[in-house]
Structure 1
Amino acid sequence: MWNEPYLETCCRSALHRLCLAGAVGRPAGQRDDPCLVRMEGMGFVRDDGQGRFFVTDEGEARHGREVLKIADGLKPASAPHE
């Protein structure tokens, strides 16, 4: 049974961009702010309070399952941001 909150296409794209940003995060004020704020409420994103968004562990896991299409606990052979 599906028990996770649905992510719109725009939110999946915003999550992917956030994961690609890595340790520097994404600055606030971008077009994907509404998606990042929405995902912050879901626990996938955190705002550092200084104008940057960062992915959480939960967000990384969701990104892997939904965007990269990998199973829980597994990593892709060559992760794009490593």
Structure 2
Amino acid sequence: MKLIENWRKVLTSAWSVWLMGGVVVLSGLETAATFISPESLDVSPALYSAGTGLLAAAGIFARVLFQQSLAQPEKKDETDGA
């Protein structure tokens, strides 16, 4: 397995990464809610699950969309020295 050339830019700019990060956060909250009272979230379980599912679906959709800002390869910094 090899990283893509502009992996840093993708990691910080791609919508799919941000959306899947939202899924991770919501999933973590859902797991934490099992240790806390369900009423403390003040959100219905059905709404919460629907939000998590929609974020996951949006992440998949965003992953296959062309993102113009990610199309150009990252310029190498020549000041690093080697």
TM-score over 0.5 for the pair:
no
Which interval holds the TM-score relative to the shorter structure? under 0.3
Structure ranking higher on relative contact order (CA contacts 8 Å, 6+ apart): 2
Larger Rg belongs to:
2
Q: TM-score, normalised by structure 2?
A: 0.27
TM-score, scaled to structure 1? 0.27
